Amino acid sequence: MSNNHEYVIAIDLGTTGNRAILFDKDGAIVKQAYKELTQYYPQPGWVEHDAGEIWRETRQLVNEVIAEADTQPSQIAALGLTVQRETCLLWDKTTGKPLHHAIVWQDRRTAPMCRQLHEERKAEPIQQRTGLVLDAYFSATKLAWLLDRVKSDNPNLDLSNAIAGTIDTWVLWNLTGGKVHATDRSNASRTMLMNLETGDWDPQLLRLFDISESMMPKVMPSLGHFGATKGDLFGAEIPITAIFGDQQAALFAHGCDRPGLLKCTYGTGCFLVAQTGTEMVRSQNQLLTTVAWADENTTNYALEGAMFTTGACIQWLRDGLELIKSAPETQTLCESVPDSNGVFFVPALSGLGAPHWDMGARGSFQGITGGVRREHMVRSVLESIAYQVKEVVDAMNRDGDTAISLLKVDGGASQNDFLMQFQADVLGIPVERPAILDATAQGSAFGAGLVVGFYPDYAELVSKRQVDRTFEPGAGAEKAQADFEMWKKAVDRAKNWVE
């Protein structure tokens, strides 16, 4: 490897926003740029992104960090890409234009299609093949919906030009100037079209959803050579050597490469992911079996509890209800009252994921009385994030032999000290927060750098990560755990709200 390589670059395309980060030889952050992403809510339960905006921002953010770091693109050894998962789109490979907005993972528009599949007794074979619970969350029904819509909107359209992909595939295709149409196995495992045993598209599932294999990207290992950025984009051909789903990237960054190690990321949603090694573990408690990552020779698997709406509730307090001006403000607001004054919030803004999998659940505030103020409402929303994680930790404990004794966290909302303390209280175990909360970006940078030899050793890289703070269960634990029982009652009432 040439000696002038000083950095690796991570592109982290999240649900709330997009990021580019330059990492140095020690795995430390040198520069970063971030921009929030526009959310479109065309109907209740529908969520869309403009894939054109995602690509324009990606290009802009990469150029911005390179310029601000005062470096040459030729000094970048490799590029790692990590993305919001399941979100998918169709585009025209001749014009490069998306044929519709991307449908975001939180979107519930295909719930009726899923219900029909449930009635046709397809849930079990789908779970057997993909490791996933049949739900509108995953890409398959979204792609089927997009194909239908695009065909009915443009009856004369030549569909042989249309290709499909998740956000990694879209951005990889653009980064390589339309040369590479591929995805990695961790992202593919979230589409509900990949067979977990073969690690490739399942012909029966493609038939079931009426999706032609020729539109689908090639499934590749997460760690390997995907191609290089087109020279004129950033001024150098940077090798693209790692692609992960965002949760899998965070798992990689935390050093969770062996069974028994797990992490929870607090972003738009919360995702508790436990490494199970090269063994596929099937859950008895509605958790997902998924690919952690793959290299040329090996595939690692994970068990996952996906909670759809956590940080997103905080965005909603800010942008929808306008109860707060910024997310960090919730910390002081929550700490200004001793409790939520009897208010319980059910964060089912996109239905409920693990462990309920209820597409018809909707959000609700319950227990409101005349003395309730803004602070109590806000506090109930933050508490509900911790309660959801508690439910999934309980489910994982029921699935495993050893009870979880420490929760490693990361993600935007883990900055919130109130939330982390309340989480430790309600779980009754310590919560460990690292110094670098962008584990997602960090994981993809680590992966990309390891493939090209920029980083010599994974274990050493992971050992350099530092803990910022450990939250121990404290004086609030007893009340938090009692309130968790009340909250479960509220959840029961919010379930099956829409048919």
Stretch 168-187: interaction string toward ligand ADP, x if CB under 6 A: --------------------
Nearer to ligand ADP, 116 or 332 (CB): 332
What Å distances lie between residue 85 and 6, 29, 406, CA to CA? Answer: 30, 24, 26
What is the C-alpha separation between 12 and 436, in angstroms, rounded?
Answer: 14
What Å distances lie between residue 458 and 27, 112, 442, CA to CA? Answer: 11, 45, 12
Nearer to ligand ADP, 86 or 202 (CB): 86
Instruction: Report DSSP letters for 138-163, one per residue.
Output: SHHHHHHHHHHHHHHH-TT--GGGEE
CB–CB of 250/88 below 8 Å? Answer: no
Residue 15 interacting with ligand ADP (CB under 6 A): yes
Nearer to ligand ADP, 14 or 217 (CB): 14
What Å distances lie between residue 415 and 257, 327, 332, CA to CA? Answer: 25, 10, 13
Pick from 131, 412, 443, 473 the residue near ligand ADP by CB under 6 A. 412
Residue 267 interacting with ligand ADP (CB under 6 A): yes
Q: With CB under 6 A as the contact rule, which of the stretches 104-112, 124-132, 254-262, 413-421 interacts with ligand ADP? A: 413-421
CB closest to ligand ADP, residue no: 412
Instruction: Report DSSP letters for 299-361, one per residue.
Output: EEEEEEEEES-SHHHHHHHHHTS---SSTTHHHHHHHTSSS-TT-EEE--BTBB-TTT-BTT-
Residue 166 interacting with ligand ADP (CB under 6 A): no
Shortest spacing between CB 92 and ligand ADP, in angstroms: 27
Q: With CB under 6 A as the contact rule, which of the stretches 178-186, 298-306, 393-401, 409-417 interacts with ligand ADP? A: 409-417
> What phi, psi does 424 have (nearest 5°)?
-60, -40
Pick from 217, 245, 311, 473 the residue near ligand ADP by CB under 6 A. 311
Q: How many residues bind ligand ADP (CB under 6 A)?
A: 19
Pick from 6, 17, 25, 285 the residue near ligand ADP by CB under 6 A. 17
What is the C-alpha separation between 90 and 313, in angstroms, rounded?
Answer: 29
Pick from 328, 428, 453, 474 the residue near ligand ADP by CB under 6 A. 328
* Cα 212-218-221 angle, rounded to 5 deg: 145
Distance between start and end Cα atoms, the chain: 58
What is the C-alpha separation between 62 and 79, in angstroms, rounded?
Answer: 10
Q: With CB under 6 A as the contact rule, which of the stretches 157-165, 194-202, 213-221, 406-414 interacts with ligand ADP? A: 406-414
Pick from 131, 221, 239, 411 the residue near ligand ADP by CB under 6 A. 411
List of residues contacting ligand ADP (CB under 6 A): 14-17, 246, 267-268, 311-312, 314-315, 327-328, 330, 411-413, 415-416
